[in-house]
Amino acid sequence: MQLTELLAPERVRVPLRSRAKDDLLRELVELAAGSRGQDVVEALLRSVRDREAVLSTGIGEGVAIPHGRTPMLDSLVVAAGVCESPVEFSSLDGRPVELCFLLVGPESAAGAHVKALGRISRLLYRAPLRDALKQCASPEEFLELVRTSEAA
């Protein structure tokens, strides 16, 4: 599974405008939900918030990978973006977040969900890619960097 299979230009925002963690989660969830409706947005947001209550998904190095599952989706969806200003996220290393990848999907796809999380984590482990993504000026540039990195 390639990350670019789960990510589309309309679900990438450069820059993300939110300045607080909960606002950032909502902004990403709304991107992921697309035209699915407010009930899906609220279900996704509840799922992502519940996961954040267990342990922050701010993994360090200015990166967060919030995620959640709901029966209201039938496939995995990724939304991503670069924060206009760093956002306090209770990250594991204490640093604010600048780069976010949100992963949401159906409860029935637990295995694929874990594989996708691993894929995102491995990709973002590369400091040069993280730095380049943070400098992107458009969703297309962001996606092209992800695509190129996955092909390498």
What is the chain written as a DSSP string?
--GGGT--GGGEEEEE---SHHHHHHHHHHHHHTTS-HHHHHHHHHHHHHHHHHS--EEETTEE--EEE-TT-SS-EEEEEEEEEEE----TTSPPEEEEEEEEE-GGGHHHHHHHHHHHHHHHT-HHHHHHHHT--SHHHHHHHHHHHHH-
pLDDT digits 0-9 by tens, 36-76 = 999 999 999 999 999 999 999 999 999 999 999 999 999 99
CB 92 within 8 A of CB 100: no
Orientation of helix 21-33 relative to helix 38-54, angle to 10° = 140
113 an active-site residue? no
Total residues found in the chain within this entry: 152
pTM above 0.85, yes or no: yes
What percent of the chain shows pLDDT beyond 70?
A: 100
Tell me which CATH code domain 3-151 carries. Answer: 3.40.930.10
How far is residue 41's CA from residue 46's CA, in Å, rounded to a whole number?
Answer: 9
Q: Where are the domains of the chain?
A: 3-151
pLDDT at 1: 78
The one catalytic residue among 26, 67, 69, 113: 67
* Per-residue pLDDT at 83 exceeds 90: yes
pLDDT at 152: 83
pLDDT digits 0-9 by tens, 88-127 = 999 999 999 999 999 999 999 999 999 999 999 999 999 9
What percent of the chain shows pLDDT beyond 90?
A: 97
